[in-house]
Chains A and B, each alone.
Chain A
Amino acid sequence: MSRRALRRTYVAGNEVYDLDLRHDDGRVEGTYDPGDGERPIAFDVERLGDGVVRVTRDGVRARATVVRDGDTAWVAIDGHTYELRIEEVGGGAAHHAGEEDFAVSPMTGTLAKVSVEPGQQVEADAELFVVEAMKMEYVVRAPRDVTVAEVRHTVGEQVEQGRVVVTFEEAP
């Protein structure tokens, strides 16, 4: 029936996995090349049921529950849960953490306190604002020495996860 061969790249944490895959009628065979002159690893994957697969490599079988949500794959194996990002080959832009010129709410909640105002110079690790949700308060701190450009929300407002609350002026 369906027979496909393709190459996919998976990103988990800081690791990048390049896999060669062959799809052959309800079964996937593949190889993973760990690089550094190490022996490529052959494996196969079978579907057992709704979102449940069996992975076999070197004769050892593991059961996993897998679900995809856009370009994220969630995998549960043996009581542990993992979150993987799936990237097309050649895709993915470089991303430098800690260099953003803004600070975001780490979670959806209520803005409980704003500790800075526009024009203020603050040192790395200084408190910028506090978000309260569920049972806790979360303090968001300056990622480096910055000058505050803008405060976009006021105390008492609901802010969603990832919403920019404070922006910084560009470094001279």
Chain B
Amino acid sequence: MKAPFSKVLIANRGEIALRIQRTCRVLGIRTVAVYSEADADQRHVLEADEAVLIGPAEARASYLDVAAVVGAAQQTGAEAIHPGYGFLSENADLARACAEAGVVFVGPPPEVLAGTADKLEVKGRVAAAGVPVIPGPLEPVPEDEASLRAAANETGYPLLLKASAGGGGKGMRRVEREEDLVAAAEGARREAGGAFGNTDLYLERIIAPARHVEVQVLVDAEGNVRIFGCRDCSMQRRNQKVIEESPPPHLDTNAIEAAAALACQALDYRNAGTVEMLVQPDGTFWFLELNCRLQVEHPVTELTYGVDLVALQLRVAAGEQVPSEEVRFVPQGHAVEARLYAEDPAAGFLPSPGTVLVAREPQGPGIRVDSALRDGMTVPPYYDPMLAKICAHGATREEAIARLDQALRETVVLGVRTNTAFLRALLADDDFRAGRLRTDAIDRRVEELTATPPLPLEVVLAAAGEELLGGGGDRTRAGTEAAALPTPWDTLAGFRLGEIR
């Protein structure tokens, strides 16, 4: 098959930039990286065919600068821009600027992004198409305190305050009692204003207990909808996903997938997207939101459906039809993903920027690692602290979980604090193992899940012995510069789409 493009610019950083580079390499597409002054030594810059500096460390002046990103594409002759997730991925201005510059935006057309940027408006359009939406006013929260209180009382406590322009948990606040409402709204507005430049909020009733189930869709230029099943992303901490899996255990997803297709048609959606739903224990489900991008957790779908979603995104963006007569596909086995973060669970999950002195990634049957790790790398304080996604594929859910746990045991990251032990505690949890999933499970038991285990004496002995033996263990900051870089082909080792071994 002919490559859809000959050169693609990737407007992102970290593991997702590297993951998109991998598909480009497989398709024979040259890659252009963009980077901020804080990221000159990151792998996404070093492994791309070309790289363009687009601004200072602050994302607002670099990765979020539409003119700088499009300028870099024009300067390097890139035919398309893949935005990854986060940053400008759902930004209609970027899609519009691409169209004006004659560069293909790998995602929905600007008018679709403009029409879906306001989550509250999307909710109204989807509801009109007959898809069930979460109870709450379909108008933004009023600015004045009395009307805010009245709207909240009508919605009922506990409730969620959400940013109309929101995403990734930013500008979102759970409010248990009326006395917390005003302060929560103030905080949410400030966070939303800083992150999105839009302080509009809306209210939703909290659906609990519930599972977070999302549908992977792909719509080609002709509007043909294809569905690559569902993922369960119920394992969340304060609305941030931690563990994701495909397919959702113990759940008939037929009606959910049909509703997702309806939502895509109502919004005239194009390219890859995710329809998020909340599912109650009795199977009742509610539309949560549409994400107009590749999701962080897309690897579990790639593993179980044997597809390369980035390759499909590029083909759809180039105007090709989705290569299948089928509308829905059948998963093979089960896949689970864990998000590895530079953060300190024992200190309330504070991010832990710094220098990664040693990084060892797991390998083995069914293991896929999407990562930007390398020895000596900086974890800058300016961006999301996710280091890697560790994924495991197995014939059954039990096998996938066992493989993922083993992979996490073999994952070594020293120099910054990580959530590895927390991830393993989640995998060991009885309710998780039994597939009894609910979005509030982690928050209800967070202390137990982040308990620090007693220090084994071996740890002290190892440190003492190594100090005397010396030889390679001392990676103080100056000593890390010479750390070997993997070649691009080495980096395909942990990459795998849907083959069970």
Check if A41 sits within 8 Å of B465, measured CB to CB. Answer: no
Residues in A whose Cβ lies below 8 Å from that of B424: 79
Residues in B whose Cβ lies below 8 Å from that of A143: none
Residues in A whose Cβ lies below 8 Å from that of B455: 12-13, 15, 82
Q: How far is the CA of A76 from the CA of B191 in the complex (A)?
A: 36
Interface-forming stretch among A66-74, A92-100, A117-125?
Answer: A66-74
Q: How large is the interface on B (under 10, 10 to 19, 20 to 34, 35 or more residues)?
A: 35 or more
Q: How far is the CA of A40 from the CA of B463 in the complex (A)?
A: 18
Q: Is B385 an interface residue (CB 8 A)?
A: yes
Question: Interface majority SS on B: helix, strand, loop or mixed?
Answer: mixed
Q: How far is the CA of A135 from the CA of B456 in the complex (A)?
A: 34
Return the contact of A66 from the options B240, B351, B382, B462 (Cβ within 8 A). B462
Within 8 A of B (CB), among A74-118: 74-84, 86, 106-109, 112-113
1/0 per residue, CB under 8 A from B, across A21-51: the answer is 1010011101010000000010111110111
Residues in A whose Cβ lies below 8 Å from that of B31: none
Interface-forming stretch among B210-218, B324-332, B414-422?
Answer: B414-422
Check if A83 sits within 8 Å of B417, measured CB to CB. Answer: yes
Q: Is A167 an interface residue (CB 8 A)?
A: no
Residues in B whose Cβ lies below 8 Å from that of A73: 463, 466-467
Check if A79 sits within 8 Å of B471, measured CB to CB. Answer: no
Q: How far is the CA of A64 from the CA of B477 in the complex (A)?
A: 21
Interface-forming stretch among B10-18, B153-161, B352-360, B438-446?
Answer: B352-360
Return the contact of A76 from the options B351, B412, B464, B476 (Cβ within 8 A). B412
Residues in A whose Cβ lies below 8 Å from that of B420: 79-81
Chain A nearest CB from B486 CB (Å) reads 15
Residues in A whose Cβ lies below 8 Å from that of B170: 135
Residues in B whose Cβ lies below 8 Å from that of A32: 457, 460-461
Check if B462 sits within 8 Å of A77, measured CB to CB. Answer: yes
Q: Is A126 an interface residue (CB 8 A)?
A: no
Q: How far is the CA of A21 from the CA of B385 in the complex (A)?
A: 39
Within 8 A of A (CB), among B382-436: 382-385, 408-415, 417-418, 420-421, 424
Check if A41 sits within 8 Å of B240, measured CB to CB. Answer: no
Q: Is A57 an interface residue (CB 8 A)?
A: yes
Which residue of chain A is the closest to B406 with respect to CB atoms?
Answer: A79
Residues in A whose Cβ lies below 8 Å from that of B364: none
Residues in B whose Cβ lies below 8 Å from that of A112: 190, 194
Given contacts A4-B468, A28-B469, A108-B353, contact A19 B475 (CB under 8 A): no
Which residue of chain A is the closest to B357 with respect to CB atoms?
Answer: A67
Check if B471 sits within 8 Å of A137, measured CB to CB. Answer: no
Q: How far is the CA of A43 from the CA of B240 in the complex (A)?
A: 43
Q: How far is the CA of A136 from the CA of B187 in the complex (A)?
A: 11
Q: List 24 A-B contacts (CB under 8 A).
A: A12-B455, A23-B469, A28-B469, A32-B460, A45-B464, A51-B466, A53-B465, A55-B462, A57-B457, A64-B466, A65-B358, A68-B474, A68-B475, A75-B414, A75-B462, A77-B462, A79-B409, A80-B420, A84-B459, A113-B190, A133-B381, A134-B384, A134-B385, A161-B381
